[in-house]
Amino acid sequence: MSTQESTLDKVRARLRELVEERRMPGERVEVTGRPLTPEEAIGAPGRRDFPIVLGRERVLEARVRGSRGHAFTDTAREYLGTLREVLELPLESNAERAVFIATLNAVLANLGMAKGTVHCKDDDPETCAEEIANTILDRHGKARVGLVGLNPAIAERLCSVFGPDNVRITDLARDNIGKRKFDVEIWDGRTRSNDLADFADVVILTGTTLVNGTFDALLDAIRSRGKQFLIYGVTTAGVCALLGLERICPCGQDG
User: Rounded to the nearest 5°, which phi and psi values hold at 143?
Assistant: -85, 170
- Bridge-partner residues for 54, per DSSP? none
Contact present, 105 and 117 (Cβ < 8 Å): yes
Q: Where are the domains of the chain?
A: 7-110, 124-248
Name the nearest CA neighbour of 177 among 186, 167, 189, 168: 186
Please report the sign of the dihedral spanned by the C-alpha atoms of residue 101, residue 213, residue 230, residue 155. negative
Q: pTM of the prediction?
A: 0.87
**pLDDT digits 0-9 by tens, 191-214:** 999 999 999 999 999 999 999 999
**pLDDT digits 0-9 by tens, 62-104:** 999 889 999 988 776 778 889 999 999 999 999 899 999 999 9
Buried b (16+ CB within 10 A) or exposed e, 192-205: bbeebbebbebbbb
Instruction: Summarize the chain as % helix, strand, coil (round to 5).
Output: 40, 20, 40
Provide the CATH number for the domain formed by 124-248 in this structure: 3.40.50.11590
User: Rounded to the nearest 5°, which phi and psi values hold at 159?
Assistant: -65, -35
